[in-house]
Chain A
Amino acid sequence: EAAVTQSPRNKVAVTGGKVTLSCNQTNNHNNMYWYRQDTGHGLRLIHYSYGAGSTEKGDIPDGYKASRPSQENFSLILELATPSQTSVYFCASGARDRGNSGNTLYFGEGSRLIVV
């Protein structure tokens, strides 16, 4: 059973419209992340969170907001969508294992967004 689920999986939005991408995790991880994936750029971090009520800016936060209302849910909000935000968006939850070998991420299946 999928531990990180994203919705919608596919979305077509109009320029200037508002888009909300949702993510739910059942891993009980404190950390959650939003990345976008583009050919030639790889996975780039937009926002992340340490827990309910927390949001932190990643490397490319401009044009995006994030919301973490609970441990399980983390949303990415595009208030005024632009064609440059056409991409595949991945949500992930993260946790350090008992050996403390870093923060392993567990990804959702991705949300494909097209802004026309």
Chain B
Amino acid sequence: GDSVTQTEGLVTLTEGLPVMLNCTYQTAYSTFLFWYVQHLNEAPKLLLKSSTDNKRTEHQGFHATLHKSSSSFHLQKSSAQLSDSALYYCALSDPYTDKVVFGTGTRLQVSP
């Protein structure tokens, strides 16, 4: 079945440093990949998404590129802000069943 792997449970950064959160996936079908962000005591919400190989997708200062050759969809930002502190989920959508599978999440903590 489909699966998503996020290897880091916690990433701690100083404000202004670059962010990179890892995401790899396994699927037998076409790929729709997502990043969701969940701030403290809030609901998860979509940050960005892609289904196009090797195309950079950007939103709110974050970007990610889907690489089907390596089954990866890493989330990046050039300079972390305090407000980026949140839980980030990578997710995969099955195009045939519309089932959406999430990774275990990466908590990003940005300090001054």
Contact = CB atoms under 8 A, between A and B. Distances in A.
A58 B43 contact: no
B51 A90 contact: no
Interface residues of B, number: 28
Contacts of B93: 102-103
Contacts of B49: 101-102, 104
B34 to A, nearest CB: 7
Contacts of B17: none
Contact of A110 (B43, B98, B100, B103): B43
Contacts of B36: 105
Given A50-B98, A101-B49, A103-B98, A42 B32 contact: no
Given A90-B43, A101-B49, A43 B102 contact: yes
Given A102-B34, A102-B49, A102-B51, A31 B98 contact: yes
Contacts, number: 68
A107 interface: yes
Given A103-B32, A103-B93, A104-B34, A45 B44 contact: no
Contacts of A43: 44, 89, 91, 102, 105
Kindly state the interface size class of chain A when it binds its partner: 20 to 34
A41 interface: yes
A108 B100 contact: no
Interface of A: 4, 31, 33, 35, 40-45, 48, 50, 56, 58-59, 90, 94, 96, 100-110
